[in-house]
Structure 1
Amino acid sequence: MTNKNSRSTDNGTKEFSVFSALIPLFIMISAMMVAIIILEADPHVPLILGTITGIIVALVHGFKWKETEEMLYKGITLALPAIVIIMLVGLVIGSWIGGGVVATMIYYGLMIIDPTYFLLTICIICSIVSLAIGSSWSTMATVGVAGMGIGMSMGINPAIIAGAVISGSYFGDKMSPLSDTTNLAAGLTHTDLFEHIRHMLYTTIPGLIIALTVFFFIGRSSAAAGASPEEISSMMTAMQENFVITPWLLLVPLAVILCIVIKFPALPALGIGITLGFLAQIFIQGGSTAEAMSTLMDGFVIETTNEMVNSLFNAGGLMSMMYTVSLTIVAMTFAGVLEYSGMLKALMNQILKIAKGTFGLISATVLSAIATNATCSEQYISIVVPSRMYLRSFIENNLHTKNLSRSLEDGGTLTSVFFAWNTCGVFIYGTLGVAVWEYAPYAVLNYSVPVIALILAATGIGIQKTTDAEKKALLDEIYNDETKTAAE
């Protein structure tokens, strides 16, 4: 049965009305608000309700059950690389805690870093590391974990620390030529990679300056209200009593970062980190092989008289990431139904109808990327789908494609952290241990850059136009690529 609100296209897919496409979103968002705000429950069930609603809408519009089932599996398939990394990060955290790596980083961090400038410092460090390795996730899983421990030991609010870590990590993720999202945005829009990166300076550098300024002033007040020197000294003593603290253990995170810098794939690099942490627990900390294996599975367990030490080091392990993995899977079933049924495309097409001129197109791209992060739960989809929808419109309006590539990153790469069911929000919760609604106000870079992007679009500052000859060349290039893809 085919509903009157939809029709089939020439290639057999269905076209949905905006009303029909909004139904699953409305159900999911409404259920999410009730679950999280009123019931203080987890986001899994609202996402499942949204998925069920999406399937029902798809069936009513003429899809067969087998087709909707395949949409679920396709959505999960998109998240498989993220799921593997999430599980490995659980192993990294467990082995590094058990091996004394985290304790060593925290111990020396407390000795070196002034609490007044800690937030500023950790943001800058994360920016440098992520710029060098091109990965926000790897930065947060290494430097970020240590930063959380150091800052919490100083008595700083974990949500603020997470905001500083996220802001720095995503600066590098957005600006590094090694970043997958950076290369994806440039490639999909037919933009030279380094031209794309240079064009992002207009929005990202002001965003970083704003973030660093905010963390400078917050740091001054946080330090005054933080842990006393006596409390920090007590923590350091407790760590010395329970771990072997040695500078040699700093070679473990440095080895992982070096592997990524020299372009090792993420999985082998993390595997090296896990192995080194595992060996450190046995040969440096004096633990048994059975204890080290248990740490990898269930996390490290410690009981001391210092409550802060207990809260910091009772963590990690594969099982600690199962909540995160399950949320990722559930979120991607919802994303799969919206993307592969065509409901998301229906919503994007409606936006495209009302997007006129430079400000209209750029604001539509930024907002569409944010909406895709919210609905499809995956950072990559927030770049891929809007790029397909808006590319021709940008070119036909004599807007250089680097305006589109920048807008995709301003709205897509950065805002993925603001949704608890997005793979990025899920990863951050599992890695840093802070919920989205707690760190969101402090992820300053991530929300200031999209605002700056809209201001530039409205004023025309930093907007690159094309000549008619360049416009024709770009349209010919796209046509040739589409023809080649169709032939294949």
Structure 2
Amino acid sequence: MKQGSWLPILILGVLLSFIILIFCVIHNIALGYALALCWVIFMAIGKREYGLKTLLRFSWEGAKTSFGVLKTLILIGAVIGIWMASGTIATIVYDAFRITNPQTFILIAFVVCAGVSFIIGTSFGTISIVGLPLMLIAKSGDINLNIVAGAIMAGVYFGDRCSPLSSSASLVATITATRLFRNIRNMFASSWLALLLTLAGYWGLSLLNPLNHINTSFMTQLKHNFTINWLMLIPVIIVLVLSVLRQPISRSIPLSILAAAILGVTEQHQQISTLLATLVVGYHPATAHALVQGGGVVSMISPLTVVPISCAIAGILNHLASFTNLQQSLANRQTKLPFGMTVLISFITSAIGCNQSIAIIMTNTLMRPAYGKHNGQLAVDLENSSILTAPLIPWNIAAFVPTAVIGASFVGYIPFALYLYLVPLVYGLQQLIFKKGVNYH
């Protein structure tokens, strides 16, 4: 069979995979099962081009690219568990409770997450440091959790797009051969209106959906179960400072864990064996219905299964000639305003590749001919599409991991993640209004 005739089969496989994934999301079925079935589908399609051993090698090569992410997930699960046991999470929640204005909580959630993500440049780190405590406050305050989760998700990816410390922003600068800080300047220039609309949207949602009450009994419970003082913030400060110093979280989190363990022993009077156990199984106090509980490596089991399978699928797709033909046929539908096609392809690569970095690289490869020598414009368009569309795909790592950390619905947050779709929407309208686009160099 000729390569061109394989294209309908690949498209059918892609559509079938989408149906399976969407079905599992709607019915709350573990995505690991869905992705495993999708892997089988693409293995079957790949058999038309390669032998079984070769496809398994492609899968393994793809899965190996996930090892860095897996290490990060293990560290995040471990640090959340010990932060809970050491009183770090309790202190953040308690202090946030005291300064929280119920009428502006949703807006504050976005602003705080956006600020921290810009400072440290990592969505996964931000979701652990402030996203989880904010969600705990929301759960105790009887508020629409999907709206809060949407504000948190939008905020944690603000820095992914425009922080000098963001690995995603650095990746875009590298593959487009552009200067990082010039890109950052262009990021703000191309999104200030969308940001203002986002702030206005969350302000309105805050007024319509305030925290119904500040749970004083929860604050009393925190004071009773934990020693609350500024020392408990040292583990978080370590991560923040080292992130600003461009140290990877693979270095900062172990130091934070050590600091939290010391505080757990000296301030919370925990047993060392208990603290070690929280790294694996999380913190589970005897107090019934305690909000401050969970974490540990076991809390990351679902993401730990999803990530390597999704990368294995990407490993197969990267070698399929029929998939390359599909990508090229999409990319060849060029106009004078290529941003719309860039957004479409970024959605497809985010959904199929299940990984933000894969989406960025694939979209860049496909759309580069459409931009010619306008690398700066390409960089802006990638930042305004691939980086922000990945967190809107429930089975993408960029969405699946943060929602798992804060215990949010995999799909419920999407309508309320305003910044994630207002940026490409407003920017796209701007391109249409100017007809020839707004040039960034």
- TM class, shorter-length: over 0.9
User: Alpha-carbon deviations, 1:131-162, whole Å to 9, x = none?
Assistant: 12211221111121222222333322332222
Aligned pair partner of 1:463 in 418, 438, 441: 438
Task: Spell out the pairing of 1:269-308 with structure 2 (5 A cutoff).
Answer: 269-304=252-287, 307=289
1:30 and 2:28 equivalent? no
User: Alpha-carbon deviations, 1:355-395, whole Å to 9, x = none?
Assistant: 222x2x22111211121000101101111112122223211
Deviation at 1:41, TM superposition (A): 1.7
Deviation at 1:465, TM superposition (A): 7.5
Aligned pair partner of 1:349 in 328, 332, 335: 328
1:136 and 2:123 equivalent? yes
Give the distance between the partners of 2:439 and 2:183, measured in 1 at CA. Answer: 11
- The TM-score with structure 2 as length reference comes to 0.95
The residue that corresponds to 2:34 in the other structure is 46
Match of 1:454, SS state, is helix
Letter in 2 for 1:144: G
Q: Which runs of 5+ in 1 are unaligned?
A: 7-15, 467-488
Aligned pair partner of 1:213 in 195, 200, 203: 200
Contact 1:282 1:288 in 2 (8 A): yes
Task: Spell out the pairing of 1:310-329 with structure 2 (5 A cutoff).
Answer: 310=290, 312-329=291-308
Deviation at 1:69, TM superposition (A): 0.7
Contact 2:106 2:151 in 1 (8 A): yes
The residue that corresponds to 1:450 in the other structure is 424
1:256 and 2:239 equivalent? yes
Give the distance between the partners of 1:345 and 1:202, measured in 2 at CA. Answer: 34
Give the distance between the partners of 1:314 and 1:278, measured in 2 at CA. Answer: 16
Match of 1:304, SS state, is coil
Deviation at 1:319, TM superposition (A): 0.9
1:163 and 2:163 equivalent? no
1:418 and 2:392 equivalent? yes
Contact 1:328 1:421 in 2 (8 A): no
Number of residue pairs matched by the alignment = 440
The residue that corresponds to 1:4 in the other structure is 2
Contact 2:380 2:440 in 1 (8 A): no
Deviation at 1:338, TM superposition (A): 1.4
Residue identity over aligned pairs, in percent, reads: 24
Letter in 2 for 1:177: P
Contact 1:348 1:386 in 2 (8 A): no
Letter in 1 for 2:29: A
Q: Which runs of 5+ in 2 are unaligned?
A: none
Q: 1:342 to 1:201 in 2, by over 3 A?
A: farther
- The TM-score with structure 1 as length reference comes to 0.86
Match of 1:438, SS state, is coil
Task: Spell out the pairing of 1:312-461 with structure 2 (5 A cutoff).
Answer: 312-357=291-336, 359=337, 361-395=338-372, 400-460=374-434
Letter in 1 for 2:251: P
Which of structures 1 and 2 has the larger relative contact order (alpha carbons within 8 angstroms, sep 6+)?
Answer: 2
Q: 1:344 to 1:272 in 2, by over 3 A?
A: farther
RMSD: 1.9
Letter in 2 for 1:392: P
Give the distance between the partners of 1:370 and 1:203, measured in 2 at CA. Answer: 20
Deviation at 1:45, TM superposition (A): 2.4
Give the distance between the partners of 2:340 and 2:213, measured in 1 at CA. Answer: 47
Give the distance between the partners of 1:337 and 1:23, measured in 2 at CA. Answer: 16
Deviation at 1:17, TM superposition (A): 4.4
Give the distance between the partners of 1:73 and 1:142, measured in 2 at CA. Answer: 33
User: Alpha-carbon deviations, 1:52-80, whole Å to 9, x = none?
Assistant: 121111112x3121221111112212221
Give the distance between the partners of 1:221 and 1:356, measured in 2 at CA. Answer: 42
Give the distance between the partners of 1:155 and 1:250, measured in 2 at CA. Answer: 26
Give the distance between the partners of 1:108 and 1:178, measured in 2 at CA. Answer: 27
User: Alpha-carbon deviations, 1:3-58, whole Å to 9, x = none?
Assistant: 2235xxxxxxxxx7431321321221122233333x44222222222211211111
Deviation at 1:189, TM superposition (A): 1.4
Letter in 1 for 2:11: L
Structure of higher CA gyration radius: 1
